[in-house]
């Protein structure tokens, strides 16, 4: 009988963070979260939005990936 393999946490978290950054940056680039009011002017460059939303997405998706890795790890302990 071979022992169950446990997931490696770092690849899970890094993959989630990269995907989260791409999702957050795409929100900023394509303007899905843009305010529709034309009287509101933004004083920030587009790269700031990409950075902020990309970082926020990386943080959220990295956290979700870490939770997923813990759940997979606990599932492998039950056998």
Residue range 2-37, pLDDT digits in tens: 666 777 889 989 999 999 999 999 988 887 656 555
What single DSSP character describes residue 79? -
The mean pLDDT value of the chain amounts to 82
- Residue 69 has which token pair? 């890795």
Q: Report the share of the chain in percent with pLDDT over 70.
A: 77
What is residue 74's predicted lDDT score, i.e. its pLDDT? 85
Mean pLDDT over residues 47-67, rounded?
92
> Sign of the CA dihedral 58, 64, 66, 68?
negative
66 within 8 A of 9, measured Cβ to Cβ: yes
How far is 28 from 26, CA to CA, in rounded Å?
Answer: 5
């Amino acid at each position: 009988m071979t022992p169950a393999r446990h997931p490696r946490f770092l690849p899970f978290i890094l993959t989630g963070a990269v995907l989260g950054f791409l999702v957050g940056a795409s929100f900023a680039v394509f303007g899905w979260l843009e305010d529709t009011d034309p009287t509101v002017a933004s004083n920030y460059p587009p790269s700031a939005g990409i950075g902020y939303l990309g970082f926020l997405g990386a943080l959220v998706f990295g956290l979700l990936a870490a939770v997923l890795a813990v759940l997979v790890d606990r599932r492998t302990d039950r056998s």
